[in-house]
């Protein structure tokens, strides 16, 4: 089975972390997000992944120079400029020479979704495209997908105002597509799969859905980037994992609770790290507090500093001793 994994977005909601590292290469516990995602596809028989990308493509090439990731063969389709989600699918499918039924996923989705079931459903109904759906409390951040009782898609509304969403079943960012879908996508301009391709497939009557209530999180915001890691620590998706790397150094007299401390990071005596992510090579100095926040790679939190309320500290940034940051981004970024 072949899959196209979309990883070309700018990750703006995760700035400043994504100013240096593309979203899907941000670490999740001990590996880049992408490796977790591709391992999930591999469990369902995907043996070739084409990465559809542009933004910071060098970071991916450097991480996987042998064109292999989580045991799956990798191809790269580098867009000369961002083509948006459907443009990217067409570009990648053509670059990879895909001419059979294939899978497309958004590279920032963490899920235990049964891709095999979506694949089987697609073939059972003879769909041109099949979208996996997941239920959420607030559908307004997502693509909202009403269906009839057989699962035929009746409409596709990307990010509607909350009170206008026709259902709380949303696009889970996993599709099974026939190659004929590729030919529907115009070339030479940006095309959104959510705003153009899916609505036109609905018109043609060829779009189906497969509902699932398996674990599902879009990790594209600071809150959800934290959540996917806390869920692994808490054992929400199976056995709880230990977030403190054997290559991290935690001083005696430091308190580290429900947190990820990555390779080469250090936490000094008297410091408190709680519900937090300390990325590789970062330093939390003596008597500092980091709570509910992310400290990026090689950043330094000075002595007695207080980092709280989903503060995001970027790659190599310095928080001066004694500073308090609550809900901040350093360096400031929008």
Stretch that binds ligand GDD, among 3-11, 114-122, 181-189, 250-258 (CB under 6 A): 3-11
Q: Of Mg ion, ligand GDD, none, which one sits near residue 315, judging by CB under 5 to 8 A according to partner kind?
A: none
Virtual CA dihedral for 33, 38, 43, 45, nearest 10 degrees?
Answer: 170
Tell me how far, at minimum, the Cβ of 16 lies from ligand GDD, in Å.
17
How many Å apart are CA 295 and CA 82, to the nearest integer? 29
Contacts (Cβ under 8 Å, ≥6 apart) of 276: 259, 260, 290, 291, 292, 293, 294, 295, 307
> 202 with 184: CB under 8 angstroms?
no
224 binds ligand GDD (CB under 6 A): no
Minimum distance, C-beta of residue 142 to ligand GDD, in the bound complex (Å): 3
Q: How many H-runs (helices) and E-runs (strands) does the chain carry? A: 8, 29
Confirm or reject binding of residue 170 to ligand GDD (CB under 6 A): yes
Considering CB distances under 5 to 8 angstroms, the limit depending on partner class, which of Mg ion, ligand GDD, none binds residue 16?
none
Distance CA 71, CA 250 (A): 33
Which of the choices Mg ion, ligand GDD, none does residue 53 contact, using the CB cut-off of 5 to 8 A by kind?
Answer: ligand GDD
Q: Does 196 bind ligand GDD (CB under 6 A)?
A: no
How far apart are the C-alpha atoms of 51 and 100, rounded to whole Å? 17
Q: Which two tokens stand for residue 211?
A: 């509902």
Closer Cβ to ligand GDD, 80 or 126, answer by number = 80
- Helix (H) / strand (E) containing 42: helix 33-42
Minimal distance, residue 323 CB to ligand GDD, in Å:
31
Residue 7 found at the interface with ligand GDD (CB under 6 A): yes
Q: Which of ligand GDD, Mg ion, none does residue 8 bind (CB under 5 to 8 Å by kind)? A: ligand GDD
| Torsion from C-alpha of 143, 149, 153, 156, nearest 10 degrees | -30
| Residue from 1, 2, 3, 8 binding ligand GDD (CB under 6 A) | 8
- The residue within the footprint of ligand GDD, chosen from 25, 38, 49, 88 (CB under 6 A), is 88
**DSSP assignment of 224-264, as one string?**
HHHHHHHHHHHTTTSSPPP-B-TT-EE-TT-EEES-EE-TT
Specify the residue, 83 or 153, whose C-beta has the smaller distance to ligand GDD.
Answer: 83
Using CB under 6 A as the binding rule, whether residue 35 contacts ligand GDD is answered as no
Rounded to a whole number of angstroms, the minimum distance from the CB of residue 92 to ligand GDD is 7
Judge whether 310 and 290 are in contact, CB under 8 Å.
no
Binding segment (CB under 6 A) for ligand GDD, from list 46-54, 264-272, 301-309, 323-331:
46-54
Q: Is 283 exposed, middle or buried (0-12, 13-18, 19+ CB in 10 A)?
A: buried
Interacting positions 107-146 with ligand GDD (CB under 6 A): 107-109, 142-143
Q: Which residues bind Mg ion (CB under 5 A)?
A: 108, 218, 220
Residue 139 interacts with, from Mg ion, ligand GDD, none (CB under 5-8 Å by kind): none
Q: Which of 20, 39, 42, 82 binds ligand GDD (CB under 6 A)?
A: 82
Find out whether 171 and 131 touch, Cβ atoms under 8 Å: yes
Which residue in the set 26, 34, 41, 53 belongs to the binding site for ligand GDD (CB under 6 A)? Answer: 53
Name the one residue in this structure whose structure tokens are 């401390």: 261
Does residue 93 bind ligand GDD (CB under 6 A)?
no
- Measure Cα distances from 23 to 260, 264, 277, 316 in Å: 18, 21, 15, 17
What residues make contact with ligand GDD under the rule CB under 6 A? 6-9, 52-54, 79, 82-85, 88, 106-109, 142-143, 158, 170-171, 173, 194, 218, 220
């Amino acid at each position: 089975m072949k899959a196209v994994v979309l990883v070309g977005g700018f990750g703006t909601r995760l700035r400043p972390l994504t100013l240096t590292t593309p979203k899907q290469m941000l670490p999740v516990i001990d590996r880049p997000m992408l490796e977790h995602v591709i391992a999930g596809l591999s469990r369902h028989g995907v043996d070739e992944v084409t990465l559809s990308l542009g933004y910071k493509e060098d970071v991916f090439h450097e991480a996987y120079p042998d064109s292999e990731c989580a045991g799956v063969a990798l191809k790269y389709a580098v867009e000369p400029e961002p083509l948006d989600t459907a443009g990217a699918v067409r570009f990648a499918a053509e670059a990879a020479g895909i001419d059979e039924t294939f899978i497309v996923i958004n590279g920032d989705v963490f899920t235990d979704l049964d891709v095999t079931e979506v694949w089987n459903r697609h073939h059972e109904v003879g769909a041109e495209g099949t979208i996996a759906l997941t239920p959420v409390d607030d559908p307004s951040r997502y693509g909202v997908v009403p269906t009839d009782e057989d699962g035929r898609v009746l409409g596709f509304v990307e990010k509607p105002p909350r009170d206008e969403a026709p259902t709380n079943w949303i696009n889970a960012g996993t599709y099974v597509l026939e190659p004929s879908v590729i030919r529907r996508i115009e070339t030479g301009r940006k095309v959104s799969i959510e705003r153009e391709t899916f609505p036109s497939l609905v018109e043609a009557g060829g779009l189906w859905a497969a509902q699932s209530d398996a674990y599902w999180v879009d990790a594209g915001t600071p809150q959800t980037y934290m959540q996917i890691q806390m869920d692994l620590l808490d054992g929400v998706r199976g056995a709880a994992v230990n977030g403190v790397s054997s290559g991290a150094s935690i001083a005696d007299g430091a308190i580290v609770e429900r947190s990820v401390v990555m390779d080469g990071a250090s936490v000094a005596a008297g410091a408190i790290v709680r519900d937090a992510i300390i990325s590789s090579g970062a330093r939390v100095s003596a008597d500092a507090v980091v709570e509910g926040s992310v400290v990026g790679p090689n950043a330094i939190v000075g002595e007695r500093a207080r980092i709280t309320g989903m503060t995001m500290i970027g790659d190599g940034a310095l928080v001066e001793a004694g500073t308090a940051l609550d809900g901040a981004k350093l360096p400031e970024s929008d």
